[in-house]
Amino acid sequence: MKTFCGRANPTTGALDWVEESEEYDYHQEIARSCYADMLHDKDRNEKYYQGIRAAVSRVKARGERVVVLDIGTGTGLLSMMAVTAGADYCYAIEVFKPMATAATCIVERNGFSDKIKVINKHSTEVTVGPDGDMQERANILVTELFDTELIGEGALPSYEHAHMHLVQADCEAVPHRATVYAQLVESDMLWKWSQLQPIEVDGNKLLPPPAVVKCAGAPSVCDIQLSQVPPESFTPLGPICTMFRVDFSKQVSSAAQSYTAQFKAQTSGRAQVVLSWWDIDMDPDGSIVCTMTPKVPLIRTLNENKLSLWRDHWMQSVYFLPAEKNVSEGEELNLIGSHDDYSLWYGLTHSVQNDVKVATFRPCCTCQAHLVWTRPRFGELNDEQRTESYVNALRSILKPDSVCLSVSDGSLLPIFAHLLGSKKVFSLESSGMAKQKTFKLLNGCVYLVYLYIYSDLIFFTLQISVLMGEPYFSTSLLPWHSLFFWYCRTAVAQLLHPSATILPRAATLYIVAVEFRDLWRIRAPCGTCEGFDVSPMDEMIQRSLDYRESLEAEPHPLWEYPCHALTKPRPVLTFDFTQCVPEQPVNSDGTVPITGGRCHGVALWMEYQLTEDITVSMGLTKPVSEEGACEWNPHRKQGVFFFRSARETSGDGREDLSYNLTFEPHTGDIKMDFSITEP
């Protein structure tokens, strides 16, 4: 059986639907998953083990036979913990077939097949009875159904069904409860991810359309490594609030609910953002706690030692208020947290309300701008330094008779070009919504022509004197996918004036070998976890990593994942946009000295040469320090090529990073190979 899968095509700037074998989709799911990250999360594993031991002891103390239901078993780790702790039998539910197969293999390898039954079903399809999947209801419910938002993976409906149909009324639950916390803050940095800010160009102030300003924004949560956000970039306006708790040992409801936290504003400011995270208590006494509290100096809890360890499978959440509100120190405020069965959202009121009605629907985008631009894209468009670079570059090349064609998605370059005095400005856009949003920025006072498809260019009679792009395309995943701009430049070659200026004039792909502080965990084999052999999962992930493009680099926002450079940044491929895309592949190979450390892989990014003197980087924003510290562009994802296993390097000059990269013009992709070699 075949399946259609979307894949970014750098030569067309579109998502191609490619026919693949039925194994393709789940190979990608496994290869890009964070199963290894969860198993490397020692704090999580230890806390679950402690909670399971305590729950088994409590049931045994009541003289009962211990029957465990493990929903979302994954590798079967928690079920094996339960049996080792003394459980009589475990039903391990796993809906993802490849994972259920791996769990069965792991359970067998560890000698628990007689006490653990792996059931490849969704928990809501599991039956109980003499002929059912389970012979009897369980008296211990063990789950790991949580995401960064706590309930985003359907935890509430799953618990609700389990209590009604799969477990006893007085069951123990591990974890026993969850607590959701929130804090109201002012943060220009974070707010710029949600709202377009005014932009000034040569005395002209561009104001965002009222529809954008009044829009509630994108409804989805923004999950980030909050500990990597500079603490000086936000100001707490209120205390950390306990928003609500869920007791998993009792009947759980997935119905929409709202909760209110009342407090006095600690300082005056603009209420813009709500930071949120959660704890899970593994036992009723709350003595075994696994927390997502970020390691940020401005975050203060009653227990200063209760701070989260690094995790990528669970992070922290940022929620943007529908509109910013001015608050005054000492003012009484209500922070309202609401949820349905899968998502959370927040609101703020000034007056005390004893009866808060449930919000039937979570806020959603009404202006369409949040459907066109992602949150990193909002941040990029609001980056004043970046805007200055593009405006200065345009100012240096534009003339009163310039005819400009812009090729980028949702770009403001056409507006800048007009305000700088161009005769005519055209924009090739892939989205009609993008056209509407950028046009409204001008309050309807500027005449711009938007072209949607290349066929429009057939009727194009003017010669283009300036072809410009950022480049940015919504379908681009990896840095070199933005080379679509080069293919566009080639497609319109006949429309270019002989002396036409191309901006950017070139792009260069850079590489640097890195040692990650934490991100390596998502790819590192686990072997054993809490004394259990989980190597069949390592083997399953490796098979998926070997499957076609899973061998390639992955996109990651490296500003969230600190790393240490082990080589100097090295330019490896340059793409000359003043010339058309070549017919033949372009190859680059060589070596670069590597310093001592633990090399996990190679980071890759693009730098664009706008003019002779102006360059913008989509990767490193500052030179690498003497100690190897890296600062990364927060608006674009960089590529990461992971080595299959980390390589210890001595730094004594006997080892190099060896590279071989080939740009394939017919696919627009880059094939790469890296290794650590001795000269």
3-state SS assignment for residue 618: coil
Higher-scoring residue by pLDDT: 49, 10:
49
Beta strands in 517-585 (DSSP E): 528-529, 532-533, 554-556, 563-565, 570-576
Separation between Cα atoms, residue 457 and residue 469, nearest integer Å: 17
pLDDT of residue 369: 85
Q: What is the DSSP letter of 638?
A: E
* Cβ neighbours of 643 (radius 10 Å): 16
Handedness of CA 54, 57, 61, 63 (dihedral sign): positive
Higher-scoring residue by pLDDT: 586, 37:
586
* Cis-peptide into 571, omega within 30 deg: no
Summarize the confidence of residues 263-284 as an average pLDDT: 97
Phi, psi (degrees; rounded to nearest 5) at 480: -80, -5
Summarize the confidence of residues 298-318 as an average pLDDT: 70
Separation between Cα atoms, residue 423 and residue 370, nearest integer Å: 31
| 3-class SS string, 418-451 | HHCCCCEEEEECCCHHHHHHHHHCCCCCCCCEEE
On whether the CB atoms of residues 201 and 291 are closer than 8 A, the answer is no
* Res 601 pLDDT > 60: yes
* Res 298 pLDDT > 70: no
Range in 88-102, 169-183, 187-201, 307-321 with the lowest mean pLDDT: 307-321
Where are the alpha helices (H) located in 427-534, listed in sequence order? 432-440, 484-491
pLDDT of residue 12: 64
Higher-scoring residue by pLDDT: 501, 299:
501
* Res 13 pLDDT > 80: no
If you search the block for the tokens 């980087």, which residue do you land on?
Answer: 617
Percentage of the chain exceeding pLDDT 90: 70
Determine if the pTM surpasses 0.75. yes
Predicted confidence (pLDDT) per residue in 512-539, tens digit: 999 999 999 988 889 999 999 999 988 8
Higher-scoring residue by pLDDT: 591, 37:
591
CATH number of 178-367: 2.70.160.11
pLDDT of residue 202: 86
Range in 66-80, 442-456, 486-500, 541-555 with the lowest mean pLDDT: 442-456
For residue 186, name the pLDDT band (cuts at 50, 70, 90): very high
For residue 4, name the pLDDT band (cuts at 50, 70, 90): very low
| 3-class SS string, 181-219 | EEEEEECHHHHCCCCCCCEEECCEEECCCHHHHCCCCCC
* Cis-peptide into 175, omega within 30 deg: yes
Summarize the confidence of residues 623-632 as an average pLDDT: 96
- Residue of 20, 153, 331, 530 marked active site: 153
Phi, psi (degrees; rounded to nearest 5) at 109: -60, -30
For the question of residue 153 being annotated catalytic, the response is yes
Separation between Cα atoms, residue 44 and residue 39, nearest integer Å: 8
The answer regarding whether domain 506-534+544-677 maps to CATH 2.70.160.11 reads: yes
* Res 27 pLDDT > 80: no
Predicted confidence (pLDDT) per residue in 434-463, tens digit: 555 554 554 443 445 555 445 556 556 778
**Pick from 438, 401, 623: which is nearest to 512 by CA?**
623
Strand pairing class (116-119; 89-93): parallel
- Residue of 94, 144, 172, 380 marked active site: 144
Range among 142-151, 203-212, 410-419 rated most confident: 142-151
Separation between Cα atoms, residue 247 and residue 277, nearest integer Å: 17
Bridge partners of residue 142, in order along the sequence: 70, 174
For residue 575, name the pLDDT band (cuts at 50, 70, 90): very high
* Res 540 pLDDT > 50: yes
pLDDT of residue 457: 60
Bridge partners of residue 467, in order along the sequence: 405, 502
Superfamily of domain 34-144: Vaccinia Virus protein VP39 (3.40.50.150)
**Fold equal for 375-501 and 506-534+544-677:** no
Range in 6-10, 282-286, 454-458, 520-524 with the lowest mean pLDDT: 454-458
* Res 501 pLDDT > 90: yes
For residue 652, name the pLDDT band (cuts at 50, 70, 90): confident
Range in 36-40, 161-165, 355-359, 669-673 with the lowest mean pLDDT: 355-359
3-state SS assignment for residue 198: coil
Beta strands in 282-360 (DSSP E): 289-291, 316-327, 332-339, 344-349
Summarize the confidence of residues 590-595 as an average pLDDT: 96
Percentage of the chain exceeding pLDDT 70: 86
**Pick from 191, 192, 196: which is nearest to 213 by CA?**
196
For the question of residue 549 being annotated catalytic, the response is no
Instruction: Give me the chain's average pLDDT, please.
Output: 88
pLDDT of residue 303: 44
Separation between Cα atoms, residue 300 and residue 96, nearest integer Å: 39
pLDDT of residue 87: 98
Strand pairing class (464-468; 403-407): parallel
Bridge partners of residue 574, in order along the sequence: 508
Domains of the chain, residue spans: 2-32, 34-144, 178-367, 375-501, 506-534+544-677
Summarize the confidence of residues 311-335 as an average pLDDT: 94
| CATH class, 375-501 region | alpha beta
Separation between Cα atoms, residue 244 and residue 181, nearest integer Å: 8
Predicted confidence (pLDDT) per residue in 352-392, tens digit: 555 445 455 678 888 888 888 899 999 999 999 999 999 99
